[in-house]
A and B are shown apart, each in its own frame.
Chain A
């Protein structure tokens, strides 16, 4: 009987699963988790988005929805399609957040492009500022998170976000938002949206990692953040962002 390489890997994989199951069990029982090697102080997370690479396939939206069980009709990330006439008046659509991509455009002869949106992980976050109880916060590694067991559901933060990135989860009745896949990035994985972006239009970056390509990227490209006049300290940088984007 011949054992193929795949079978070997399968067995190995099963062993790995056993090991990782052990880790989860530890986590559940509250013992020291296996991922304690992760040091929050060593990271400062953000994202770079290359507009010219986005093809509007909606993979990121679907991936986010699957990974984070985002309720129907609400979005932690979405993609907008801009169609801008010469007077710079944009026509924007984002059918169901582009979770199924876009129907072909009917406009011709206008400038058009896609803009993926997500929480900008602001360093001076207006949503965190207004939370009355400390249920939303910027983590030591620079991710804006919501404590689901502490949130009142007052929705002041939803009002304070200039980018429309927050919503009230219809089941938990607490505010929900992009976590920058905190459960993944703290285990060495990238976010679900970046993992599934076929063109590399969005990339998770760690500003504190000197080897991260972001440093090269920021040196060589003209970048912009959304609504810079809001002075939110947004950490999602857009390359080739058009002036008509809001």
Chain B
């Protein structure tokens, strides 16, 4: 059979090819070593549980959830300020949240004594919503303040919590 035939020149040739291409193994080893080091480093430094919900760091969700709240929210305000809440509920501003005019007050809700809210600046506050502008919905109550009040502040006539005269 053919493969049993001893052919020394063939074997020599093969060996030569091996020795002459031996140097090619070296860059391959360098590459594979680099790849191996990379994979080890990657396994060590990749954030914990990365990819649990998707391609991101799941801990980020809780970090974002723990950011501080600045606006306490309607329900907190009316827990204490029920008189004002009642007045407001009876009027046109029933759906305007307290902090929409009074500003962010979570700090006050958390510690009422330490953080006393300032009264809003009425001259600018009311105008932001009620100054006449063609872009506002037609049914929305709006006035040209310069003509409407003759320089008087809005709350000389309107009670902000229930603005109807």
Please tell me whether chains A and B touch each other in their complex, using a CB distance cut-off of 8 A.
yes
B123 part of interface (Cβ distance < 8 Å)? no
**Chain A proximity of B102: nearest CB distance (Å):** 10
Stretch at the interface among A161-169, A196-204, A218-226: A196-204
A137 engages B56 (CB within 8 Å): yes
Interface size counted on chain B using CB atoms at 8 A? 52
Stretch at the interface among A186-194, A208-216, A229-237: A186-194
The 8 A CB mask of A1-22 against B (1 = contact, 0 = none) is 0000110011011100100110
Interface size counted on chain A using CB atoms at 8 A? 68
The 8 A CB mask of B127-163 against A (1 = contact, 0 = none) is 1110111111100101010000000000000000000
Residues of A within 8 A of B56 (CB): 134-137, 147, 150
**Chain B proximity of A86: nearest CB distance (Å):** 15
Q: Given A57-B129, A150-B47, does the pair A108, B66 have CB atoms closer than 8 Å? A: no
Return the chain A residue nearest B112 by Cβ.
A10
Residues of A within 8 A of B79 (CB): 9, 12-13
Among candidates B60, B96, B140, residue contacting A145 with C-beta atoms closer than 8 Å? B60
B11 part of interface (Cβ distance < 8 Å)? no
**Chain A proximity of B88: nearest CB distance (Å):** 12
A189 engages B57 (CB within 8 Å): no
Return the chain A residue nearest B96 by Cβ.
A198
Q: Given A102-B135, A113-B135, does the pair A63, B71 have CB atoms closer than 8 Å? A: yes
Complex alpha-carbon distance, A187 and B47, angstroms:
26
B65 engages A138 (CB within 8 Å): no
Question: Which of A21, A63, A113: most chain B CB closer than 10 A?
Answer: A63
Assuming A9-B82, A33-B62, what are 18 further A-B pairs, CB within 8 angstroms? A52-B137, A55-B137, A66-B70, A81-B135, A104-B132, A134-B51, A134-B56, A137-B54, A137-B55, A140-B54, A145-B64, A150-B60, A189-B73, A195-B73, A196-B97, A196-B99, A198-B97, A198-B129
